[in-house]
């Protein structure tokens, strides 16, 4: 069965430091992969997605993610975080029925 | 352009009562999705409308949940009677085509069943 694992429930990072959020998936075919972010009081917003082609994907707000088929991973990165990046981040994979299978989310806490 | 709107933002009810959640998608979006997130867990798919038709309702937990989308515009999700395990955040999302495209989410309804 398809699944998505986000191993870190919480991550704390100092403002200005680099960030990497982990995402591992289980899916038989070439996956469609997504990262969404939910800021406090807001709906989820799409950061970036991978369908095919270049395995390094650029998204909004300075985020990028790299698809690594050999590791079944799609980790999200940002070189320097800002206080406004504090939010919950969700990784998802699109299944054969065009529905999304979601991870449990990672809460990002920014230290001043 | 207005985003996806959900109402109410919070609802606290007692076990056995009925609650109706509403979602207004972005105008012109034929695809409407309901998801639920129980505290700290992953977001779970409930169902998918294409216009007024239920395309996929495989995620609906049981027959206490009834979703409608009359006229292919707004959607309602009714829980009757509510049980304790129904507590969670109910998200609605819409898209022009399908979920492997960009989804636009509402801010959710926090449902607490006491």
pLDDT in tens, A10-45: 999 999 999 999 999 998 777 899 999 999 989 999
Q: Report the share of chain B in percent with pLDDT over 70.
A: 97
Cβ B98–A46 below 8 Å, yes or no? no
pLDDT at A21: 98
Top-confidence residue, B99 or B19: B19
Measured distance CA(B103)–CA(B94) in Å, rounded? 6
In 3D, which of A35, A42, A40 has the Cα closest to residue A78? A35
Mean of the per-residue pLDDT values of chain B: 93
Question: In this structure, how many other beta carbons lie within 10 angstroms of the beta carbon of residue B24?
Answer: 18
Top-confidence residue, A31 or B34: B34
pLDDT at B102: 86
pLDDT tens for A88-105 read: 999 999 877 678 899 999
pLDDT band at B37 (very low <50, low <70, confident <90, very high): very high
pLDDT tens for B69-107 read: 988 899 999 999 999 999 999 999 999 877 667 899 999
pLDDT at A41: 87
A94, burial (CB in 10 Å: exposed 0-12, middle 13-18, buried 19+)? buried
pLDDT at B39: 87
Measured distance CA(A36)–CA(A61) in Å, rounded? 12
Measured distance CA(A100)–CA(B45) in Å, rounded? 7
A5, burial (CB in 10 Å: exposed 0-12, middle 13-18, buried 19+)? middle
Shortest distance, CA A93 to any CA of chain B (angstroms): 9
Residues in chain B within 8 Å Cβ distance of A44: 91, 93, 103, 105
The stretch B1-19 carries a mean pLDDT of 94
Question: In this structure, how many other beta carbons lie within 10 angstroms of the beta carbon of residue A11?
Answer: 15
Q: Residue B6 corresponds to which tokens in the numbers above? A: 């959900």
Per-residue CA distances from B34 to A39, A98, A106, B44 (Å) = 19, 14, 21, 9
What per-residue string of b and e applies to B82-95 under the rule 16 or more CB within 10 Å gives b? Answer: beeebbbbbbbbbb
pLDDT at B100: 67
Closest-CA residue of A relative to B48 is: A99
Q: Does the structure show a pLDDT above 80 at B1? A: no
């Amino acid at each position: 069965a398809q699944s998505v694992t986000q191993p870190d429930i919480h991550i704390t990072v100092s403002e200005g430091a680099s960030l990497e959020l982990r995402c591992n998936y289980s899916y038989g075919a070439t996956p469609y992969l997504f990262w969404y972010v939910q800021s406090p009081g807001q709906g989820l917003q799409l950061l970036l997605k991978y369908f095919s082609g270049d395995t390094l994907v650029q998204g909004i707000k300075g985020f990028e993610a790299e698809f690594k088929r050999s590791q079944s991973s799609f980790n999200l990165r940002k070189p320097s975080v800002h206080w406004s990046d504090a939010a919950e981040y969700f990784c998802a994979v699109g299944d054969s029925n065009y529905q999304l299978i979601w991870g449990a989310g990672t809460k990002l806490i920014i230290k001043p | 352009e207005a985003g996806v709107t959900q109402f109410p933002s919070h609802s606290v009810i007692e076990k056995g009562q009925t609650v109706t959640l509403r979602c207004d998608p972005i105008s012109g979006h034929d695809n409407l999705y309901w998801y639920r997130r129980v505290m700290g867990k992953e977001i779970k798919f409930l169902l998918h409308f294409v216009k007024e038709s239920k395309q996929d309702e495989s995620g609906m937990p049981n027959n206490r949940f009834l979703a409608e989308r009359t006229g292919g515009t707004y959607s309602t999700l009714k829980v009757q009677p509510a049980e304790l395990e129904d507590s969670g955040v109910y998200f609605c999302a819409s898209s022009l085509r399908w979920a492997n495209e960009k989804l636009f989410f509402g801010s959710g309804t926090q449902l607490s069943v006491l």
